[in-house]
Amino acid sequence: MTATIPDADRPAVTPAFQQVSLARKTKNGVATVLVWLAFLIAVIPLVWVLWTVVESGITRIPYTNWWTEDFSLVLSDEVGGGVLHAIVGTLLQGLVCAIIAVPLGLLVAIYLVEYGRRTRLAKVTTFMVDILSGVPSIVAALFIYALWVTTLGLPRNGFSVSLALVLLMVPVVVRSSEEMLRIVPDDLREASYALGVPKWKTIVKIVLPTALSGIITGIMMALARVMGETAPLLVLVGYSSFVHWDMFQGEMASLPLLINNERATNSMTEGSVGFERIWGAALTLVLIIALINLAATLIGRLVAPKKK
C-alpha cells in the first residue's frame, strides 16, 4: 500500500514548457524584431507608390467624363475626354484571356493533383509550367506575333493580345489552383470513395467546392496581374482613341497602352495634360484591380464551405 502526498504538501514545480532559457527568449525577441523590420521595409515602398499614384492621378478621377467619354473628339494637347475606350479594351482583353486560361489552368491543376501524382507526364508538365511562369511578357508577345501574324498572316488585334496574356496567366492559375487542391484533406476523398462515388464525381462534388474559395482568389489575382502588362499591347495591337468592341478587327486601346501613348505624344511636365492623363490612367488601373481583388474576396467568402 502506497502513501499519497496531499496536494498542499507537494513542492511547486514550474511546468517544463514554461522553463524558457534566457538565450531562447533573446533569440525569439531578435527574430520578432527582424520580422517586423522586414515587414516595414516591404510596406514603406508600397505605401509610397500608392500615395504617389493617388496624389498625382486624383485630379482627373472625380469628373464624370473621365469614365464616360473617350479621346475621339479631343486633340492630344487639349484638356478633356476620358478613358472609357481604354477601360473597355482592358476589360475585354482580360475577359477573353480568362475565358481561355482559367479552364485550361484548372484542368492542368486537377490532373497534377488528382490523376498524375508521381507520373512522368506530371513531372514534365510541372517542369513546363515552371518554365512558362518565368517567361518575360515580351517573349510571350513575340511568340504570338510570330505565330499569329507572321505564320498565319492574321492581323494585329485585341484577340492576339489576349492570347499572349493567356501564356502569362495559365502558369499562375495552375500553381494557385494546385496548391488549393492539395490542401483539401484526403479524408474527404477517402470517405467519398468508401461510399462508392466515382473519382470524377468526387472531384466535382467534393474537392472543387472545398477548394473553390482559394481557386477563385488565385484566378482573380492572376487576372489582375496580366491586366497591367504593356509589352503584348505594344507588339500585338495599335492604340485607338475611341471605344472599339471588335476583338478581331482594328486597333484597340487599354489603360497601359494609353499611358505609353500619352507619354510619347504629350509633355510630361507636372500639371500638363499628358501628366494628368498618365497618372489618372494609372490610378484608374489600380482602382479596377482593387475592385477585382475585392470581388474575389467577397465571392470566395460566399462559396467557401460553411462551418457548422
C-alpha cell at 187: 479524408
DSSP structural state of residue 9: G
Give CA–CA dist 264/276, Å, rounded. 14
Its sign, for the CA torsion 158, 161, 165, 166, is positive
Concatenated DSSP letters of 157-212: -HHHHHHHHHHHHHHHHHHHHHHHHHTS-HHHHHHHHHTT--HHHHIIIIIHHHHH
Domain boundaries, the chain: 21-57, 65-303
Q: What percent of the chain has pLDDT over 90?
A: 10
DSSP structural state of residue 111: I
- Going by pLDDT thresholds of 50, 70 and 90, the confidence category of residue 280 is confident
Give CA–CA dist 258/306, Å, rounded. 44
* Of 152 and 6, more confident: 152
Give CA–CA dist 265/78, Å, rounded. 12
Q: What 3-state DSSP class applies to 255?
A: helix
Give CA–CA dist 265/272, Å, rounded. 12
Q: Report the pLDDT value the prediction gives residue 38, as an integer from 0 to 100.
A: 93
DSSP structural state of residue 304: S
Residue with cell 482613341: 241
* Residues, the chain: 308
Q: Residue 174 corresponds to which amino acid?
A: V
| Mean pLDDT value across residues 264-283 | 76
CATH of domain 65-303: 1.10.3720.10
Q: Report the pLDDT value the prediction gives residue 103, as an integer from 0 to 100.
A: 92
| Mean pLDDT value across residues 110-127 | 85
Q: Report the pLDDT value the prediction gives residue 3, as an integer from 0 to 100.
A: 55
pLDDT, averaged across the chain: 82
- Going by pLDDT thresholds of 50, 70 and 90, the confidence category of residue 37 is very high
Q: Report the pLDDT value the prediction gives residue 276, as an integer from 0 to 100.
A: 80
Residue with cell 496624389: 55
158 touches 92 (CB < 8 A): yes
* Of 14 and 261, more confident: 261
CA 164 to chain centre: 16
* Of 50 and 308, more confident: 50
Give CA–CA dist 101/98, Å, rounded. 5
| Mean pLDDT value across residues 277-292 | 87
Which residues contact residue 78 at a Cβ distance below 8 angstroms, ignoring those fewer than 6 apart? 273
Q: Which of these, 221, 281, 290, lies nearest to 256 by C-alpha position?
A: 281
H-type helices in the chain, by residue range? 22-57, 65-68, 84-110, 120-133, 137-144, 158-182, 186-194, 199-202, 208-226, 231-236, 255-265, 273-303
